[in-house]
Amino acid sequence: MEARRLDFPALDQDVNGNRLVYLDNAATTQKPRAVIGEIRRFYERDNSNVHRGVHELSNRATLGYEGARKRAAEFLNATSAEEIIFTRGTTESINLVASAWGARHLRRGDRILLTEMEHHSNLIPWQLLAARAGARLDFVPVTGDEGLLDLGRIDELLDGTRLFAFTHISNALGTVNPVGELCRRAKAAGAVTLVDAAQSAGHAPLNVREIGCDFLALSAHKMAGPTGMGLLYGRRELLEAMDPYQGGGEMISSVDFGGSTWAAVPHKFEAGTPDISGAFGLRAAMDYLDGIGRDRILEHDRALGAYAYARLAEIPGIRLLGPAEGRAGLVSFVLGDVHAHDVVMLADRVGIALRGGHHCTQPLHRKLGVESTTRASFYLYNTAEEIDRLADVLREIKRYFSR
């Protein structure tokens, strides 16, 4: 994996006079030359709008854009490319479901089930929907600092639930949830499921048919692809029964002054000119990841997550959040009385990029009794030596504040 670092030009730099150690991958990953080059090639050779043109550049752009949709279906093992809707990312994908599915199917008194570890992107859209529809939100509890879901309460909470939306990997805890089991139990209770795969799509194999989910959302920029690009997977029969998310060009079949009819899925949900270059970049990212092997990336991430947890646990006074075993490739912690932003600022002075704050999980942080945490998150180009350097710097920071 260390040889792969050469594929990522952003890693080849010094920050504040020190070699960059980039440990902020849960926020966004760096991009390989294969992705950067494909986006550049599109703008240099194929730049045109899609679907509506008949000239050569438009044909190329359309073939590439729809080829990316087919590639995404293969990447997720969807039944067909028509089950892939391109969006700006996980956030828009979840909002699309809340608006287009929720507005039609949820009524006053219906229950939406989430978990206490959800990112704001998988919480606020449901809060807005619940307020509009008169539905109510319930939450699967998280069991303390170990950060596991209370699976013993799942069936009780699923009773009467219309929709169950949950994260695959917690961006704050590193918890890997048993998404297949959760989907099976939800299906048995008659609930529709949505999986937030923002933190797992670029780190592990994903098979939507094996998982058994109804919807799945992901972002390209967290899996070595470009920002502003993502997708929603949805079972076709559900997509067919949903109303459009937005109106405009491209999503129509016929328009008159008195009314309009809609294009077939997935185009019904893609109003206006899409992020064409983003689709080219996403396809290149998927090819790059599969060229390495997502099983290998998963093994590498798990090893780094376990190693980081063990190394940081050696620091006196540190509080580690999330499971000690079976975690993903990230570690969140509280370094004694040192504020997370001070930790991040001081680490940056020696070239280590971390993330400090509530990580868009304010309710979870409140439950755990902390205002903010520092997070180190890893990807395929990170090494155990970088974790050793992080541990040494954290010890120095703690000693500095203990004077």
Residue 183 annotated among the catalytic residues of the structure = no
User: In a 3-state reduction of DSSP, which class is residue 287?
Assistant: helix
Non-local CB neighbours of 124 within 8 Å, separated by 6+ positions: none
User: What six digits make up the tokens of 278?
Assistant: 């983003």
User: In a 3-state reduction of DSSP, which class is residue 202?
Assistant: coil
How far apart are the C-alpha atoms of 365 and 342, rounded to whole Å?
Answer: 18
User: In a 3-state reduction of DSSP, which class is residue 252?
Assistant: strand
Q: If we measure between CA atoms, which residue out of 184, 224, 210, 215 comes closest to residue 197?
A: 215
Round to the nearest angstrom and report the end-to-end CA distance of the chain: 40
How far apart are the C-alpha atoms of 367 and 336, rounded to whole Å?
Answer: 18
Please give the DSSP secondary-structure letter assigned to residue 24: B
Please give the DSSP secondary-structure letter assigned to residue 144: G
How far apart are the C-alpha atoms of 199 and 241, rounded to whole Å?
Answer: 29
Find out whether 164 and 192 touch, Cβ atoms under 8 Å.
yes
**H or E stretch at 62:** helix 56-76
Residue of 360, 364, 387, 391 marked active site = 360
User: What six digits make up the tokens of 123?
Assistant: 């919480």
Q: Is the dihedral of CA 377, 382, 383, 389 positive or negative?
A: negative
Strand ordering across the sheet containing 84-87: 84-87, 230-234, 215-219, 192-196, 161-167, 111-115, 136-140
Please give the DSSP secondary-structure letter assigned to residue 182: H
**H or E stretch at 165:** strand 161-167
Find out whether 324 and 71 touch, Cβ atoms under 8 Å.
no
How far apart are the C-alpha atoms of 218 and 202, rounded to whole Å?
Answer: 9
**H or E stretch at 215:** strand 215-219
Strand ordering across the sheet containing 318-321: 318-321, 330-335, 373-377, 355-357
Cα 265 to chain centroid distance, Å, stands at 23
Q: Which residues belong to the active site?
A: 360
